[in-house]
Amino acid sequence: MAVLVGAAALSVPVALAMPKYRTAAIQQLHYDVGNPLWQYDRTVMSCTFCHVNVHGGAPWNPFGEALRAGFRASPRADFGAVLYGVLRANGDADADGYPDAVEVYARTLPGDAQSHPERPLAELQAAFEAAGGVTQYAPKRRK
Ligand SMILES: [Ca+2]
């Protein structure tokens, strides 16, 4: 019995930590690069990237709501296309002065105005464009 309980306790946190959209977003936004253990790393992308609560679920923050609006506008689109559409729109969901795609690049939270890059926007924007700009977040073609 103790063995069964232990196995369940080990498997549940991983499942909770990696819902499919989060797993997809981590890879599409390259947050997995250089982190071979990203699937086991709960800090690689916080649930508050899109959600208000640290454990996910409703409600969503302004960036999460932008994604939800994208799904409503294109109900047949897949997650990767919706995410890319929001980033290409060059919006600033949390209105902190840094566009969503630039925050993704800087690894701050695009839906939380308390989280934003420290670098001046012009400097960061130039680095972002030099690194490939928003096209680096285009969804990979399906095989
Ligand atoms: Ca922002």
Q: How far is the CA of 51 from the centre of ligand 1 (A)?
A: 15
Render 53-72 in DSSP notation, one character per residue: STT--SSB-HHHHHHHHHHH
Q: How far is the CA of 134 from the centre of ligand 1 (A)?
A: 15
Q: How far is the CA of 105 from the centre of ligand 1 (A)?
A: 11
Residue 64 main-chain phi, psi, to 5 deg: -60, -40
Q: How far is the CA of 49 from the centre of ligand 1 (A)?
A: 11
Quote the CA–CA distance of 135 and 129 in Å, as a whole number.
Answer: 9
pLDDT in tens, the chain (143 residues): 445 544 444 444 444 546 899 999 999 999 999 999 999 888 899 999 999 999 899 999 999 999 999 999 999 999 999 999 999 999 999 999 999 999 999 999 999 999 999 999 999 999 999 999 999 999 987 65
Separation of CA 63 from chain center:
9
Q: How far is the CA of 142 from the centre of ligand 1 (A)?
A: 30
Q: What is the pLDDT of residue 18?
A: 61
- List the domain boundaries for the chain: 2-137
